[in-house]
Structure 1
């Protein structure tokens, strides 16, 4: 496992450290209310979010593959973590997080980082928007100050709880939440460099303490006082039964964590014109998620908003991420008891704004407007995320995307019978040239356009075999537009060759490297004969004209090729050296 720091601190200077110090402090201050809010929404104590911010934030910066990545708890994990806590308990959440870290390490070790880019955009937008809806709706109760609410994993049941407990609405909580929300929204306009969530938290907390003390639920009244120390080291209790029980949740955490962290790294690349190492990033995320549970922390990943803030405040190296974690640690040691006075109603608007920003609403609407198969995949993934669970949503979304992609690719593959156009300067072949009056009885030429894979191979074989029922002498397949062939495509091509070779020959022109290598491996290349492969169609036609039965050409009125006039009349031998530029 190569975890060298080469290139990450090249040319680092005192000036660079000053920039990292400023950006790290700013992001650290922003991360505190977010870490607490994400932990509470995930069903665990707020301090666990702070522990995660400190430990995972430092480790991801040290060992990750992006110079600017800020790691910690994120909103995307909330539905998953809450479901695990509800079903298996907090102790097993630590075990699942540890296992997810191992999985992420293995993904990086086996260089699977590049595979994340193959997840279709409609799937990622669908589940991200669905998570945003869950986060937003999950904070309505705290915003309104409702009491007696029992939280469920199912969205419908949670909405029912809100409706049933609406009479317990607390006006003081609403006022506190509105003060926080307005402050968050106005701060960027008045003080662009000051983190809105922190200002909103402080202003609304002070307002609640002064204007209506004891009238709203606080972090302390709900979860107890936040300790100003880190928890002691404790290795998660892992048994074979727990591994079996938690393997599914751990896989979901690992997959979502990899997607989130690599998306964040890509955003950082776009903002800084740099390039991250995706496999190293996964390994860094893995190390962080293996160690963080040993100190009571919840699963972590790259945080897109905090990473962007880090860059906007001038970060130049991973030191900013390390400083961000140390800043949170310092604040925890000095001011943790004060956090117990924060109203839960002040935390709600912070998460609601996070949900609104992560909803990808503009992209969501844009994809829906296309009214395409992507719209369908997006909608299904979104609805399953909200009304069922993220695991099912991603699985079904990916499966749908694959099936619809295969369908589109199979429909895009075209097989057309062609002949040279005598009016064309270079005698290019065209499908429009084949008519009942102009179709060579002895040479059939087909252009295959598109990949020959399992979705299109059967159509390819049926199209050709149906057309050549009249048994021509030569079958010429133009495969210059076939970028890829799988073994199913090769099997159908082999079937054509076997059937046709009983009475004629098969010629192939313009074949690409990958299909050629496959034919060589399967032995079909030698069966067709290397002499029957040509770089250009013109060369293949010249060969075919020498192979045909001249007696059948006498009196033929099809005139498919320029040589046909002489062959039909039985006059002098045609000049096969005539130049052809048939690609």
Structure 2
């Protein structure tokens, strides 16, 4: 749901809201979208999402996300559609710079840096856990390796003007849905991104932002499993309460806070004996390419 709401600015073709709350920002975007209504980005996002969902069910090996994005870019240029595109991309990375290490505020940033590192670690491990479940019961990530690699990357990027990076659930889900099975996926992703920036930046700049939103809409739609949610909710009323509270907190606050709230509620119920621990696994739709 959060991923979907975050795509509203791209879908409606308007500027993103300054609100820190996802739901409030989505409402602002909807209001702006209807005041300056443009059906073209909405149509592109919906068509891209529907084609990916329909095509992937019948031809799971075809990269419909890539095909639809290319088709959307071509249609935008041929018919001169009034939609926002990625635009110009820098053809090189930032210059190596050590000037920030001489700042008088360097030590004052330490508490904030620790907080950012902790949140980044939590978000990455959450993404890895979801990826494990999408891959199957036999898959399990290496948390130490995940955090070591992320920490190493975040140590290097500031020297080139970068900002802290984390694993992202949306892109992780797309990778898994594309049948990524090894480290080659991450390596090839990095190489292709570098080649795109260096060689194909003008072509990439033609891609409509609404098409990328459509890809993420399709991804989130395939992540929702009504049968699993119903099975979990039917276990006990307390499990249903934890599920609802976590969902509401995710929309009203943020993902990290929602996970903490859900864990605290679950632990409180277990501690007080209101809920019993019973390990069960929700059903998986065998017709799907990958069960979540």
Same fold (TM over 0.5): yes
1:358: Cα distance to partner? 3.3
Residue in 2 that maps onto 1:181: 49
> Mapping of 1:280-429 within 5 angstroms?
280-295=145-160, 296=162, 298-301=164-167, 303-307=172-176, 309-311=178-180, 318-408=183-273
Deviations 1:243-292 (A, max 9, x none): 2234334322211212322443565574xx57654433432333234334
CA 1:247–1:226 in structure 2 vs 1: closer, same or farther (change >3 Å)? same
CA 1:326–1:391 in structure 2 vs 1: closer, same or farther (change >3 Å)? closer
**Equivalent residues, number:** 268
CA 1:237–1:403 in structure 2 vs 1: closer, same or farther (change >3 Å)? farther
Distance 1:171 1:178 in 2: 11
Taking structure 2 as the reference length, the TM-score comes to: 0.77
Distance 2:91 2:276 in 1: 63
Distance 1:379 1:187 in 2: 32
Residue in 1 that maps onto 2:115: 248
Residue in 1 that maps onto 2:286: none
CA 1:141–1:331 in structure 2 vs 1: closer, same or farther (change >3 Å)? closer
Q: Check whether the contact 2:132–2:139 (CA below 8 A) recurs between aligned residues.
A: no
Distance 1:136 1:411 in 2: 34
**SS at the partner of 1:401?**
helix
Q: Check whether the contact 1:187–1:199 (CA below 8 A) recurs between aligned residues.
A: no
Counterpart pick for 1:152 among 7, 19, 39: 19
Bigger radius of gyration, 1 or 2?
1
**SS at the partner of 1:219?**
coil
CA 1:320–1:179 in structure 2 vs 1: closer, same or farther (change >3 Å)? closer
Distance 1:319 1:160 in 2: 40
> More relative contact order in 1 or in 2 (CA 8 Å, sep 6+)?
2
Residue in 2 that maps onto 1:200: 68
**SS at the partner of 2:29?**
helix
- Structure 2 unaligned segments of length 5 or more: list them: 278-292
Distance 1:297 1:192 in 2: 35
Counterpart pick for 1:232 among 80, 90, 95: 95
Q: Check whether the contact 2:91–2:198 (CA below 8 A) recurs between aligned residues.
A: yes
Structural RMSD (CA): 3.1
Q: Of Structure 1 and Structure 2, which has the larger fraction of its residues in strand? A: 1
Q: Check whether the contact 2:17–2:28 (CA below 8 A) recurs between aligned residues.
A: yes
1:405: Cα distance to partner? 0.9
1:156: Cα distance to partner? 3.8
